């Protein structure tokens, strides 16, 4: 009885305790909430299952919009290709003949990324061969097919110095990692306009683009840029023609610009790395330009892109597919001052024309009596507006032809008949470079690019010891090159190539320059450490 009384008393004390009362109230509330939630959940679930009156959704039929962009892409897209290039490891060197020097310096200005640096292709690092020594370098670009036999137009900086070039069509299957497409070879390049023609072999006719007349493009016209930015093939961006006849390179002090023949269509269609070489298309589905460069401060598109006009492309292409596979331009052998002010014109009595700064000795103008200070005002009776107008007229003329120049000397009108010369030779003389040295540098590069070797004259003592006359000794073999693959080694002496004797470096360069892709090449070499001739050969890639 005492135990029962003590239990009852303890229980009453707990109920009187405020802490126990709060705990009990909380547990009661939670229990009620759980029960209520279960009832409500059961009620909601029941309503979700009650969907007998719901109608399933359906995908509507495709609707063709009226802007026409998609139709143009369907028409042009199959002829736009993705270009992959591979450059094998090269020996670090300084090349005095680089087209755009000092590309690796960060303070060259906003325009430093044009061509050789920004757009992929070999131009990913410009002419700088010092990066990533001992490693293969891969880069991307775009192009478009203009001939069903496999001829493709792209930028020179996309394929410049590339050891291997691959092209992938929009219809080619994706072979996975390591599948870069079909092998291609270079037909010809023109550095002055940054245009290159490459070719792939095909058994069936390929789709082609339709080239338009870029002179008909007007500022404000809609255009589409198609290419492979960042390797994303068949990417399309839209914009307008922002300006025409745009120059993006300043002339040198002697009045000659290295991009003298580059007058671009400016567009705000988004262009990014990898777009280089792709087409700029108008609303008629015609290619009016080739995307080449952008103006950027952020390494990305900022709405200012540049495309080489189609009319220039056609002219260059027709020369590159010719027998010599090169572009020949006319010259009269002068340099001139650009940007003449109206005050100078009034002082010297002319409103249009070009003031001659220098005259190349033995050039066409010099032989015709043209002197520094003369003002050329007409060509064959047509008035000349400025230096660009004069260059465009003269450069399009055939070497060896003649032209009548009207000019002012001390304010008096005179005329002279001038013979057109080869611009490549006269330009070398104006800039102070010997034409033969320039040609030798190009031929030397041909030996490096074609065979992958550097050579030097054979010392007279070595010739006497081996009983040979002439030849060239291999001083370097590039890893992975054609020469490396057929086991031509450093120190070997080449005495013949394809049964033609090698007497000196000049004969070596001449023979190498004539070698063709897919052709057999056989070398007769002597090893100074062994007796007799060795015959080493292979098929050029």
pLDDT of residue 150: 96
pLDDT of residue 297: 66
Mean pLDDT taken over the chain: 78
pLDDT of residue 200: 95
Q: Which CATH number fits domain 210-320: 2.40.10.10, 1.10.10.10, 2.40.50.840, 3.20.20.70?
A: 2.40.10.10
Catalytic pick from 113, 127, 194, 282? Answer: 194
What fold characterizes domain 435-539? Answer: Pdz3 Domain (2.30.42)
456-479: average pLDDT: 86
Over the stretch 294-336, which tens digit does the pLDDT of each residue have?
A: 877 666 667 789 999 999 999 999 999 998 888 889 999 888 8
Instruction: Determine whether 194 is an active site residue.
Output: yes
Burial of 129 (0-12, 13-18, 19+ CB in 10 A): buried
pLDDT of residue 121: 38
Residue 107 has pLDDT above 90, yes or no: no
Residue 28: band (very low, low, confident or very high) from pLDDT cuts 50, 70, 90: low
Instruction: Determine whether 276 is an active site residue.
Output: yes
Over the stretch 165-188, which tens digit does the pLDDT of each residue have?
A: 999 998 888 777 777 889 999 999
Residue 347 has pLDDT above 50, yes or no: yes
pLDDT of residue 106: 29
pLDDT of residue 165: 94
pLDDT of residue 80: 96
pLDDT of residue 427: 65
Residue 151 has pLDDT above 90, yes or no: yes
pLDDT of residue 96: 36
Over the stretch 199-219, which tens digit does the pLDDT of each residue have?
A: 999 999 999 999 999 999 999
Query: Closest by alpha carbon to 186, among 151, 220, 221?
Result: 151
User: What share of the chain has pLDDT > 70, as a percent?
Assistant: 72
pLDDT of residue 291: 94
pLDDT of residue 378: 94
Query: Closest by alpha carbon to 373, among 408, 413, 414?
Result: 408
Neighbouring CB atoms inside 10 A of 96's CB total 8
pLDDT of residue 25: 53
pLDDT of residue 125: 36
Over the stretch 86-96, which tens digit does the pLDDT of each residue have?
A: 887 655 443 43
pLDDT of residue 383: 92
Q: Identify the H or E element spanning 536.
A: strand 533-539
Contact call for residues 362 and 377 (beta carbons, < 8 A): no
pLDDT of residue 188: 92
Domain at 77-89+107-200: CATH code: 2.40.10.10
281-296: average pLDDT: 90
Catalytic pick from 257, 276, 301, 310? Answer: 276
Residue 469 has pLDDT above 50, yes or no: yes
What fold characterizes domain 330-430? Answer: Pdz3 Domain (2.30.42)
Greatest extent of the chain over all pairs of C-alpha atoms, in Å: 146
Q: Where is average pLDDT lowest: 118-122, 359-363, 536-540?
A: 118-122
Residue 23 has pLDDT above 60, yes or no: no
pLDDT of residue 260: 63
Over the stretch 411-427, which tens digit does the pLDDT of each residue have?
A: 899 999 999 998 877 76
pLDDT of residue 246: 85
What sign for the dihedral angle of Cα 316, 320, 324, 327?
positive
Pairing type for strands 334-336 and 354-359 reads: antiparallel
pLDDT of residue 295: 75
Phi/psi for 209 (5° steps) reads -85, 165
pLDDT of residue 452: 87
Catalytic pick from 157, 160, 237, 268? Answer: 157
What does DSSP assign to residue 350? -
Q: How far is CA 386 from the centre of its chain?
A: 29
């Amino acid at each position: 009885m005492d135990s029962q009384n003590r239990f009852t008393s303890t229980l009453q004390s707990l109920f009187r305790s405020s802490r126990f009362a709060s705990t009990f109230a909380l547990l009661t509330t939670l229990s009620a909430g759980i029960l209520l939630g279960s009832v409500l959940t059961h009620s909601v679930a029941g309503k979700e299952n009650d969907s007998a009156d719901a109608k399933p959704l359906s995908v509507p039929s495709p609707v063709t919009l009226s802007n026409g962009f998609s139709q143009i892409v369907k028409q042009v897209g199959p002829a736009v290709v993705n270009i992959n290039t591979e450059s094998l490891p090269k020996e670090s060197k300084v090349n005095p003949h680089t087209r755009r020097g000092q590309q690796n310096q960060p303070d060259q200005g906003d325009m430093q990324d044009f061509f050789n640096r920004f757009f992929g292709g070999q131009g990913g690092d410009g002419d700088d061969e010092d990066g990533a020594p001992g490693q293969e370098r891969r880069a991307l670009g775009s192009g478009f097919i203009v001939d069903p036999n496999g001829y493709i137009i792209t930028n020179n900086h996309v394929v410049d110095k590339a050891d291997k070039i691959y092209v992938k069509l929009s219809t080619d299957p994706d072979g996975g990692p390591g599948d870069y497409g079909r092998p291609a070879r270079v037909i010809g390049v023109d550095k002055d306009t940054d245009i290159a023609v490459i070719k792939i072999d095909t058994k069936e006719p390929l789709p082609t683009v339709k080239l338009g007349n870029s002179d008909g493009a007007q500022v404000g016209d809609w255009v589409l840029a198609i290419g492979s930015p960042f390797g994303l093939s068949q990417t399309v961006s839209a914009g307008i023609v922002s300006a025409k006849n745009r120059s993006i390179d300043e002339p040198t002090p002697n009045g000659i610009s290295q991009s003298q023949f580059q007058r671009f269509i400016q567009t705000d269609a988004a262009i990014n790395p990898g777009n280089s070489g792709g087409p700029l298309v108008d609303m008629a589905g015609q290619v009016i330009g080739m995307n080449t460069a952008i103006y950027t401060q952020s390494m990305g598109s900022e709405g200012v892109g540049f495309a080489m006009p189609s009319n220039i492309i056609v002219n260059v292409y027709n020369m590159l597919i010719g027998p010599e596979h090169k572009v020949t331009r006319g010259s009269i052998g002068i340099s001139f001052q650009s940007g003449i002010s109206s005050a100078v014109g009034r002082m010297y009595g002319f409103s249009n024309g070009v003031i001659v700064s220098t005259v190349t000795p033995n050039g066409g103008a010099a032989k015709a009596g043209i002197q520094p200070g003369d003002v050329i005002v007409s060509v064959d009776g047509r008035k000349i507006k400025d230096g660009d107008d004069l260059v465009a007229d003269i450069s399009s003329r055939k070497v060896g032809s003649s032209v009548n120049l009207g000019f002012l000397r001390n304010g008096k009108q005179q005329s002279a008949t001038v013979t057109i010369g080869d611009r490549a030779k006269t330009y070398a003389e104006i800039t102070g470079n010997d034409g033969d040295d320039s040609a030798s540098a190009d031929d030397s590069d041909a030996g490096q690019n074609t065979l992958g070797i550097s050579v030097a004259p054979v010392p007279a003592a070595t010739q006497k010891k081996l009983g040979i006359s002439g030849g060239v000794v291999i001083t370097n073999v590039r890893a992975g090159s054609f020469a490396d693959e057929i086991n031509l080694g450093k120190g070997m002496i080449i005495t013949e190539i394809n049964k033609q004797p090698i007497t000196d470096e000049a004969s070596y360069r001449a023979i190498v320059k004539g070698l063709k892709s897919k052709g057999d090449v056989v070398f007769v070499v002597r090893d100074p450490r062994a007796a007799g001739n060795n015959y080493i050969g292979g098929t050029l890639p």
